[in-house]
Amino acid sequence: MRRHGDSGFTLLEVLVAMVVLSVAIVTLIQLASQGLRLLRVSGEHQEAVMLADRLARAADVSREAVDTGHEGSFDWERRTRLVVVPGDLTPVGPGGADTPRLLSLSVTVKWAGGRSVEVSTLRLAQGSGITP
């Protein structure tokens, strides 16, 4: 019970308020740092996908090949392989159409922390570099 002349907070009330405030501040700092880490990882992933897409678009799809390289903080591998097209899927047309030559194109980009991204697609072979 307080007297009329006593005003203010007790030492216990001040200590409890400080503990609550410090826990709230620490939680906010941890959330902010986690958000920054996620932003960095997301940016790296986006750069890796853009690199993989660019490498896939620039690929020579006339032959089977394995190419590797390094760009910035990324290591990449581009693999082109012949895909056998089943006979019942080959086109039959006038003049005995040739069997299409289909290539599987896969680009894998790796970077720090064991992270990686892979972009894969199928393309028709250009030129006569592959014999089925």
Tell me the helices (H) and strands (E) count for the chain, helix number first. Answer: 1, 4
Residue with tokens 């990686």: 116
pTM here is: 0.67
CB atoms under 10 Å from CB of 44, counted, come to 17
For the chain, 132 residues long, give each residue's pLDDT as a single digit of tens: 556 656 788 999 999 999 999 999 999 999 999 999 999 999 999 999 999 999 999 888 788 889 999 999 999 999 999 888 776 666 665 555 566 778 899 999 999 989 999 999 998 876 544 444
- Residue 91 has a pLDDT of 62
- Residue 23 structure tokens: 């826990």
Helix (H) or strand (E) holding 77: strand 74-83
